[in-house]
Every structure is written in C-alpha cells, then in structure tokens.
Amino acid sequence: MTTLTDRPHTALLVIDVQNGVVRDAHDRDRVLANIAALVDRARTAGVPVVWVQHHADDLPAGSEPWQIVPELTRRDDEPLVHKAYGDSFEDTDLEQVLAAGGVGRLVVTGAQTDACVRCTLHGAFTRGYDATLVADAHTTEDLSAYGAPPPAQVIAHTNLYWGFQSAPGRTAGTVDTADVDFATTVTA
C-alpha cells in the first residue's frame, strides 16, 4: 500500500545494534536473538537486510563501541548505512539504497526505541513507506534517572502508539518476531 510507486518490495532494517548502543539495553539478549532470527528469515526469503550504524562523539567510527554486536553478522553484500542523526534517512544514502531495491515496505528493528528507532519510523512513514515495527525486536537503555519512564514502559508505549498509526495510502503497525512473514506483505 505504500505511496511510493514501483516499490513493491520489503526490507528488514536493523538500526544501531552496536556494542556501545545496546551494552546496557533492556532485555538485550532476547532482543538480539529476535533480531538474529529475523535476519536469518529475511535472508532465507530473499528479503534485503539493511544495516544502520550510528556515529557520534561518544560513538566514534571504528571504535569498539561503534562496532555491530558480535551476536549479529552483516554480510558484505548487505547495505550498510552510516548516520549521525536519529532519523536513519537524514543525511544518509538510505533512500537511495531502498529505491534501488524497489523497497516501499520496512520491517524495523534495533535501538534505541525512544530515539533512533522512533525517529526512523516517523521518517519512513512521512516519506511514504509502509513501516512495521517488530514489537519484541527493539530496545532502549534505562534513562529513568533523566525523567524517562523505565525501558519496559518506553517499549510498550512505542508499540502501543505505533500500532495505531495511519495515513493516506500507507500502513503502519506492530508485529511480534514469531508473526513476521517475509513471504507476504508485512503489515499489522
């Protein structure tokens, strides 16, 4: 249903699953296992896996914290998008990567729920993509010391409100890892 013409394909987007980003993430091991399962299923189904890797002053390119976690392995033929902003589309080649593959639907996973995942979901949706968040394949760290709700509540709230997003000609929603079917259109 995407508003992007001639873009019938789906891609799995893996956002910022880097050592320094998920080191202290909520339910880290389960979320990484779910992402790994989705990566394997996407590859088996011939669905592109697009990796996003953030860099910042506290996450310098090439450093150990910047590296993708060892539990996940990016293949050399899978796109890697480097970014410096929350929205994975902002000042990157993500749009060109997706357009080249005819991708109009995104299945979104990664970290941090309340930052880069949320920004990218909204960025994709406003650009015309169908955007499905995998409810049990994104995470965040505990920022309650700064006034944020505990991580489980941040994740639950994001899943709740993304499940009710709507806009003309686009779909959004959430789905659990077990229910993602790359062989069909992925929508909630």
Q: What does each of the 188 residues of the chain score in pLDDT, given as a tens digit?
A: 688 989 999 999 999 999 999 999 999 999 999 999 999 999 999 999 999 999 999 999 999 999 999 999 999 999 999 999 999 999 999 999 999 999 999 999 999 999 999 999 999 999 999 999 999 999 999 999 999 999 999 999 999 999 999 999 999 999 999 999 887 644 43
Q: Which of 65, 98, 60, 66 is nearest to 79 (CA)?
A: 98
Task: Return the pLDDT at 184.
Answer: 67
3-state secondary structure 43-86: HHHCCCEEEEEECECCECCCCCCCCECCCCCCCCCCCEEEECCC
Distances, alpha carbon 6 to alpha carbons 1, 2, 10, 62, 84, in Å:
11, 9, 12, 37, 29
User: pLDDT digit string (tens) for 13-45?
Assistant: 999 999 999 999 999 999 999 999 999 999 999
